[in-house]
Amino acid sequence: MTTQAATAAARRSKITPERETELYEAVLDLLREGGYDAVTMEGVAARTKCGKATLYRQWKTKPQLVTAALARSRCSFFTGIDTGSLLGDLREVARVTSGRRERDAELMEAVNQAYVRHPDLRQALFETVIQPEVAAIDAMLARGVERGEIAPDNPAIGFIAPCLMGMLRVERLLEERFADLPDAMAVFVESVVLPALRLDPP
């Protein structure tokens, strides 16, 4: 079942929007706490005092429930950022990720691990979580090219989205390396990303 189909199935149910949100939050909390393997239909049912049969009736399988929960949250960092300049956009990327790192990084890490280890989830996770964020970064860069802020043939353009997405994961895994940096993502953007794009900050 696709992400859209999973979400549509929930909407056709008798579950209220408020209850649906509660169920999805339970799924995301379990992902943060123990990764994909920690999410079970039984665990979600117990945490939300929901009948397990209700979950199976609406989402059929754990992958469908997890996909629907992620589709609702989308773990969004970069979508919606548009300050009017590429420099402003990239600095906003650093600000937003720093402000939400503690909670969402756990979810992003769980999603990254599930993406590698569970082929049945891979395509849904790519569509739901990864591709929208990559597309948002690519759109920032495309706007920068259109405004003449960066050269269209700059070879760094294709590496920016993977680097930013990777930094979200690596910063947590190698936290001791960044212990002396109160805002590692901001330093990364200023010292690595901007020079690679040949952006001269004021």
Task: Look at residue 202 and tell me if it is in a domain.
Answer: no
Task: Look at residue 79 and tell me if it is in a domain.
Answer: no
> Taking a C-beta distance cutoff of 8 angstroms, is the pair 128, 107 a contact?
no
Measured CA to CA, the distance from residue 154 to residue 196 in angstroms comes to 9
Residues 103 and 66 in one domain: no
Residues 105 and 188 in one domain: yes
Residues 122 and 193 in one domain: yes
Look up the pTM and report it.
0.72
Task: Look at residue 127 and tell me if it is in a domain.
Answer: yes
For residue 121, give its domain range.
Answer: 86-197
Residues 58 and 96 in one domain: no
Alpha-helix runs per DSSP H in 118-177 = 119-125, 131-146, 157-173
Residues 28 and 121 in one domain: no
The predicted pLDDT at position 99 comes to: 60
Residues 95 and 136 in one domain: yes
Residues 23 and 91 in one domain: no
The predicted pLDDT at position 5 comes to: 56
Task: Look at residue 160 and tell me if it is in a domain.
Answer: yes
Residues (pLDDT < 50) of the chain are: 1, 10-12
Residues 192 and 104 in one domain: yes
- Tens digits of residue pLDDT in 168-186: 777 766 777 776 767 888 9
Residues 43 and 131 in one domain: no
Which residue is listed with tokens 């189909």?
Answer: 5
Residues 104 and 175 in one domain: yes
Measured CA to CA, the distance from residue 90 to residue 71 in angstroms comes to 25
Residues 134 and 189 in one domain: yes
The predicted pLDDT at position 10 comes to: 46
The predicted pLDDT at position 106 comes to: 76
* Number of domains the chain is built from: 2
